């Protein structure tokens, strides 16, 4: 994304997920959307990944490959979730365990009673382990499928947190603690093959997209090529003939 425009990664990710939520509910009624991922590199999204199921583990599997493979310096992940002002589950007398909020909302009427609220939660995790969180509560009209947002769109977020813990933020932080695919050896191999850095980077991006798709069957992985050359390589990679070899 050029032109000197300041891009806010968490806003780009959140707004894309909101639009998907509205379209999904308009088509199928009150339905959760699967996790969305946007890995970022040097200020631009390098790919968009949509998991096939409403499953946070699929998002974490995809992120574990996408961050080192794309050489990402940040990743945004949006999930359908629930929030509450009550830290203790009144049914158990203990802190909410994983999955309890979903069951309470779906089976026990906790959302209708106001104990819980459905939300889209977008986490942006950076290589320095800081986290930004943007949650937007909603309800869905059971008759029309219209999404009614209960929070304004002009900010409900927390900045640069280092204290936020849990399965998702901790696992995403861990993704940045592993070597990236794009290292000195790859650069040297690309030069030996007569490839430009941009050409080699585009090939690695294609390989990473294929790895994510293989690890999370059914995932949509859409590359965002950085140049016309990268776009052509992405098209070749997606074709039955496969990517072009050096000198082809």
Which tens digit of pLDDT belongs to each residue from 118-147?
A: 999 999 999 999 999 998 999 999 899 999
* Cα gap 116→102, rounded to integer Å: 9
> Could you give the percent of the chain with pLDDT greater than 70?
89
Q: Of 46, 73, 77, 65, give the one whose Cα is nearest residue 208.
A: 65
pLDDT reported for residue 2:
44
User: Other CB atoms closer than 10 Å to residue 133's CB: what's the count?
Assistant: 17
In the predicted structure, residue 158 carries a pLDDT above the cut 60 = no
- The mean pLDDT of the chain is 86
Paired strand residues for 49: 37, 221
Of 12-26, 76-90, 200-214, the range with the highest mean pLDDT is 12-26
Report in angstroms the alpha-carbon separations of 15 from 10, 65, 134, 201.
8, 24, 11, 28
Listed in sequence order, the DSSP H helices in 152-196 are 167-175, 184-192
pTM score: 0.86
Asked whether the beta carbons of 203 and 230 are under 8 A apart, the reply is no
- 140's enclosing H/E stretch is strand 131-140
Section 187-195 average pLDDT: 79
pLDDT reported for residue 54:
94
In the predicted structure, residue 64 carries a pLDDT above the cut 60 = yes
């Amino acid at each position: 994304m050029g032109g000197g425009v300041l891009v806010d990664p968490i806003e780009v990710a959140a707004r894309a997920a909101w639009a998907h939520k509205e379209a999904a509910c308009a088509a199928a009624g009150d339905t959760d959307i699967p996790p969305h991922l946007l890995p970022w590199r040097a200020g631009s999204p390098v790919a968009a990944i949509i998991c096939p199921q409403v499953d946070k583990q699929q998002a974490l599997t995809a992120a574990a490959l996408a961050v080192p493979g794309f050489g990402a310096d940040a990743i945004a992940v949006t999930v359908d979730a629930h929030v509450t002002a009550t830290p203790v589950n009144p049914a158990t007398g203990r802190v909410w365990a994983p999955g309890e909020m979903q069951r309470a909302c779906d089976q026990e009427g906790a959302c209708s009673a106001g104990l819980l609220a459905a939300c889209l939660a977008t986490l942006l995790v950076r290589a320095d382990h800081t986290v930004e969180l943007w949650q937007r509560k909603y309800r869905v009209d059971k008759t029309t499928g219209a999404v009614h947002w209960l929070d304004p769109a002009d900010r409900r977020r927390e900045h640069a947190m280092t204290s936020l813990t849990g399965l998702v933020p901790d696992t995403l932080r861990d993704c940045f603690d592993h070597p990236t695919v794009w290292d000195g050896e790859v650069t040297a191999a690309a030069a030996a093959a007569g490839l430009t850095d941009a050409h080699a980077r585009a090939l690695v991006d294609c390989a990473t997209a294929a790895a994510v798709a293989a690890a999370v069957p059914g995932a949509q992985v859409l590359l965002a090529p950085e140049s016309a050359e990268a776009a052509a390589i992405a098209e070749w990679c997606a074709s039955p003939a496969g990517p072009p070899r050096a000198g082809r």
